[in-house]
Structure 1
Amino acid sequence: MKLPKLLSTLFLLPALAGAQTVQSVKYADLAKRLAQPSDTTYVVNFWATWCAPCIKELPSFEQLNADYANKKVKVLLVSMDTPTLLDKKVVPFVQKRGLKSEVLLMNEPDPNAWLTKLDKKWSGAIPYTLIVNNKKNQRTTFEKELTQAELTAAVQKAL
């Protein structure tokens, strides 16, 4: 191995070791997680790599994740991209943007089979955000792009 190639490999190893992973998830697994009887407030954002408003609001969720890192708040970013694009598009997108929040990819062939189970009023449009606090029996939804102020206010209300 030539020295320049060896050096570039050594410099890449730490970056690859800490690289964000994206887990594929079925609706039932997500629903089970969100139904846990805990005092954790879940902030779940449904987005896609091809959705401009979704991408625009991602930094707000990342900021929320950082601001509430020591609180019982869990940010989940659920990609609605096609499961076949997980390795080709979603993982590189997440890594390029350095997302720190937990990222999942919804692996369901028919969104219409589970959308109304999550929220009867959800048309399927994204971005879509669900804020759940089971201890307080609170559930708030937004079928629109959220500003940082709207997101923070909604989470404060749920705590």
Structure 2
Amino acid sequence: MLTITQKNIVFLVATLLFCISCKENKEEQTTEIITSNYIETEIPVYNFNDLEPLLYTNKDKIYIVNFWAMWCAPCVKELPYLQQLQAKNPDIEILLVSLDFPKDIDTKLKPFLKERNIISKVVLLDDPDANSWIDKINPEWSGAIPFTIIFNNETRKFYERSFENLEDIENEISKNFKQ
């Protein structure tokens, strides 16, 4: 038979083992969550000719292409709304077209995206002839960012402004697109 002191020791050891095993499970879950939100290891760099086919579709699926940059405060402010939209509507495909410098991909862009848990596909547009490709996208676009195209095979809408919140984007989609 165990004495009271021995029972206390057994209880403390059992409690300690239980706490350690719970802590290990929690760490495993956290690692899994971090891994699932990890940004792509490669961010493709496109010129406009490479990017242009991604701006059109023959499907009725809704696509959103957002031109942005890390240095653009309104762009950065609206990124969470685009991420919320994508999380809420996995059938809508979002492409973030960064206008940052290719030399900053590993040192600035990837850390920026990881820090903000960006889950959308990101490409970098590196084409010096902006006057040409801006007009090809939309002749009415001044070149200011953020600039967003929401489209499918029937409808194409351009937004030379930032979205104020998730509801703002959802309202534009419900107003202009059949779902």
* Greater Cα radius of gyration, structure 1 or 2: 2
Offset of 1:30 from its aligned partner?
Answer: 2.2
**How much does 1:19 deviate?**
2.3
Residue 139 of structure 1 aligns with which residue?
Answer: 156
Residue in 1 aligned with 2:38?
19
Question: Structure 1 counterpart of 2:158, which letter?
Answer: T
Q: Which of 63, 72, 89 is the matching residue for 1:42?
A: 63
- Segments of 5+ residues of structure 1 without an aligned counterpart are 1-10
Distance between the aligned counterparts of 2:85 and 2:37, measured in 1? 21
Counterpart in 2 of 1:158? 177
Count matched residues: 145
Deviation at 1:80, TM superposition (A): 0.8
CA deviation map 1:10-34 (0-9, x unaligned) = x9x8656862122222222222122
Q: Hey, which of these two has a bigger chunk of strand by percent?
A: 1
SS of alignment partner, residue 66 of structure 1 = helix
Q: Superposed, which structure 2 residues align to 1:74-113 within 5 Å? A: 74-113=93-132
RMSD: 2.1
Residues 40-93 of structure 1, C-alpha deviations (whole Å, 9 max, x = no match): 211111110011111111011001101111x2x111111111222222211111
Give the AA of the match of 2:149: L
Is structure 2 residue 74 aligned with structure 1 residue 57? no
Structure 2 Cα separation of the partners of residues 88 and 16 of structure 1: 20
Query: Mind listing any 5+ residue stretches in structure 2 that lack a counterpart?
Result: 1-27
User: Which residue of structure 1 aligns with residue 3 of structure 2?
Assistant: none
Matched residue type, 1:141: F
Q: Secondary structure at the match of 2:44?
A: strand
Give the TM-score normalised by the residue count of structure 1.
0.82
TM-superposed deviation, 1:151: 0.8
- Normalising by the residue count of structure 2, what TM-score does the alignment of the two structures yield? 0.73
Where 2:39 maps in the other structure, the secondary structure is coil
Pair 1:133–1:87, CA change in 2 (3 A):
same
Identity, in percent, stands at 37
- Residue by residue, what CA displacement relative to the aligned partner does 1:91-117 show, whole Å, maximum 9, x if unpaired? 111111110111111121232221110
- 8 A Cα contact 2:95 2:120, kept in partner: yes
